[in-house]
Amino acid sequence: MDDMDTKQTMHITIQKGRSLPELERCTTCCNVFHCPFCSSTLFHSTKLSKVRTHLESHFSRAVLHEGYTIHRSRGRKDIRDESKEEEEKEEQEGLESPV
Ligand SMILES: [Zn+2]
Ligand SMILES: [Zn+2]
């Protein structure tokens, strides 16, 4: 029980308020900026101002919860499919009366 747990930060997709994660210039695959929420195959690295504009668009799909903004990573089509399934399931549950 040392302070290893307290050091552990929240997932990058969870940001306090409407703050954005600090953007750092990439030094591994390019010398511009990546979106911290998207994989580089979905959002290609670009100059800082463009990444900032892109990050603003993340807010439109983000979920606000108790003062935190929870961003959804893009490119996971299973997320959309899941929510659709849930809706259908709810309808079915309402029709069927359990014993
Ligand atoms: Zn890069
Ligand atoms: Zn992104």
- What is the pLDDT at residue 95? 56
The pLDDT tens digits for 11-64 are 888 888 877 788 999 999 999 999 998 988 889 999 999 999 999 889 888 998
Rounded to the nearest whole angstrom, what is the distance from the C-alpha of residue 79 to the centroid of ligand 2?
A: 16
23, 51 contact by CB (below 8 A):
yes
Residue 81 lies in a domain: yes
Residue 16 lies in a domain: yes
Pairing state between β 14-16 and 68-70: antiparallel
Residue 99 lies in a domain: no
The environment of the single-atom ion ligand 2, i.e. residues with CB closer than 5 A, is 35, 37-38, 43
Which ligand does the CA of 37 lie closest to?
Answer: 2
Residue 80 lies in a domain: yes
What range does the domain containing 33 cover? 11-85
Which ligand does the CA of 38 lie closest to?
Answer: 2
For 52-80, b/e burial (b = at least 16 CB within 10 A) is eeebeebeeebeeeeeebebebbeeeeee
How many structural domains comprise the chain?
A: 1
Residue 91 lies in a domain: no
Residue 52 lies in a domain: yes
Residue 89 binned pLDDT confidence (cut-offs 50, 70, 90): very low
- What is the pLDDT at residue 98? 59
Residue 18 lies in a domain: yes
Mean pLDDT across 86-96: 49
Rounded to the nearest whole angstrom, what is the distance from the C-alpha of residue 44 to the centroid of ligand 2?
A: 9
Residue 65 lies in a domain: yes
Residue 76 binned pLDDT confidence (cut-offs 50, 70, 90): very low
